[in-house]
Each structure stands twice: as structure tokens, then as C-alpha cells.
Amino acid sequence: MCLIDGLRKNKIEVMLLTSVLAAALAIANISNDTNGFSSPGKATLVFALVLSVLCQALIYRAYRKLTQREIRFHRISKKLVQIKTQRNKEEALALKVLRHINDPSEKTPGHAHIWQRPLQAFSGDLALAYAGNSGEKYTLLADLTGHGIAAAISAAPVASIFRATARNGLSVEEIVTELNNRLIELLPSSFFCCAAVVLEARGTVTVCNAGLPDILITNDAGEIVESIPSSQLPLGIESISTAGVELFTNHFQKSHQLYAYTDGLIETTSANDEVFDINALTSLLKIKNEGNGRISRITEGFELFLKDSSIHDDISVVEVMIQ
């Protein structure tokens, strides 16, 4: 584009110079040899002179427009560079926040297996696990509003509150209430999160599903024994008390596995417009648990389904081992 504009500019300059020279020659001829021309010849020279002046005016006008366009182009380019620089700074800040939240030095407890596939550099999903000293095993999966810096803004308080309440050994209803009401205090009304909070202790499982797809529990044979739908509003919308938290509770004598996931998983479409729906997920769960769960089978099956297609949302899957 710049090369074309440069050629156009040079062409205009040459045309302008040629027109000026032609006008100068015409004036010189008229003044030096006034009697050497007939009336028609003089009229022709005058016409050529007038035409030359008009051409000069038109060329100058075009030249000014081109110059003004170049000035606007450089201003826009400069503005775009500033916007990109600012966005890079914001993304670097978001990345720093999210890396702090998902600190690799803080090892995920063995009861939880987590797989995430972000849409962009920053995932809008948050998955955390914590194991207490008294045998309590906490797991959180949250689908946060937005991506990038927006996700980092809402992820920071969610992670901080979950870790603090889990370390203090609070119940699921207390954790959900604290998360919900603190998000209302800290974040704008447009920010909220769909979340699942899971507590497993000695075979007893307590779950709150606030806006996520159905949470599944399987036995070791891969049979689905429980499906836990969302019974709570997403967190950060309305104030609640512990008495208002809807819970699922059950005790399992033998080992089972719990699967929570964000809607990005079961809304993914392939290049053939096939949907990786709940049936596709449950079919991957129908294998015997050999002790290490089925998270690798889910990820492999999903990648095989996706092939060369692209995802359109953040994807997260959490597998909780119920002992």
C-alpha cells in the first residue's frame, strides 16, 4: 500500500512539473513572438495555457488529498500501535494473575484430575482442588465471565476465597455462600460465574451445582449412578444464605468417580457439524476404572472427535476420585 502511494505521489509530482513547464513555455512564446502567430494560433496557445493552469490546480488538489490521507494513515497506524501496546500490557498482567492463581508449585491433590483446553491464551475456566489434614477433599470448577483480563479479574477473588474457606474446613454451603456474596461485593453486576463445589470425606459426597451442566457420578464399571443437575443460580447474581444453598449429598460404600465439566465441552462441533454432546461424553465413561480414572480417555476421545476443527469456548473437565 505504501509503495503504491509512493508511486502515485511521484507521478503527480512529475505531472505537476510538466504542466508548469508547459505553461512557462507557452507564456514565453506569447511574449517573445506576439506577431508571429495568427489569431487562431494565439487562441490555441491561450487555451493551452488555461488548460495547463486548470491541470495544475487539479493536480495540486489531488496531491493535497493524497498528503492528507497519508497523514491520517500515519495517525491511525500510530493509534493502532498504542492500542496493541496497551493490550499486550493488559494480557501480560492477566497472564501474571492467572499464573499466580494456578501456581504450578502448588501440586493438585491426588483425588482430583483436571484437564483444560483454553480458547485463547487465557482460560475463562478455573479448576482448583484442596485436601485438608482431616481427610476432607475439596474441588472447585468455575466457568467465569469473559476471557483474558476479564477472566483474571473474576478468577482472583474466586480462587482466594475458595482456598481460604477450604483450608478452614468449611462446609459446601458455607463456601458457596461466601463465594456468592463476596463476588457481589467485589465485582460489577455483569460479572458472575457458573460453579460446582464438591466435598468428599470418607465416601460421603456433597455437591452444589450452580449453573454448570449435569455433574455425573459413575461406579468403577463405568455405569452412571447419579446425575446432578444445576439447582442453584450462578454465583454473583443474588445474595443468598447458607440455608438457601441447594445441595446433593450421598454416601458411597465403594469407590466411585465424579465428573464436572463446563458447557464448552458438550457444545463443541466438529468439521462435519456433529456435536460432542452428553451422549458422547457418557460413552467415553463406559469403561472399567483401573484405579487412575478416565480423564485420559475423555481427552483422547475429545481430540479424536475434534480432529482439525477449532473450539469456540474454554473447555474444562474435572474428575474427582471418591474413595
pLDDT of residue 311: 87
Q: Note the pLDDT of residue 29.
A: 59
pLDDT at 145: 83
How many domains does the structure of the chain reveal?
2
- pLDDT attached to residue 55: 72
CA distance 286 to 301: 12
- Nearest CA to 172 out of 202, 203, 145, 196 is that of 196
Residues 216 and 143 in one domain: yes
Instruction: Identify the residue whose cell numbers are 472427535.
Output: 305
> How many CB atoms are closer than 10 A to CB 108?
17
Question: What is the domain range of residue 89?
Answer: 2-96
pTM of the model as a whole: 0.72
The answer on 69 and 13 residing in a single domain is: yes
- pLDDT at res. 133: 86
85 and 211 together in one domain: no
Q: For residue 209, what is the domain's CATH number?
A: 3.60.40.10
Cα distance between the two ends of the chain: 66
Q: What is the pLDDT of residue 3?
A: 44
Q: 95: exposed, middle or buried (C-beta count within 10 Å: 0-12, 13-18, 19+)?
A: middle
141 with 290, same domain: the answer is yes
| Residue 77 and residue 111 in one domain | no
Task: Look at the block and give the residue holding cell 468439521.
Answer: 271
Report the DSSP pairing between strands 112-117 and 256-261: unpaired
Average pLDDT per 10 consecutive residues for the chain, totaling 323 residues: 50 60 60 55 64 71 78 78 70 62 63 89 84 93 80 82 94 97 89 95 96 97 96 94 96 96 92 90 94 92 88 92 91
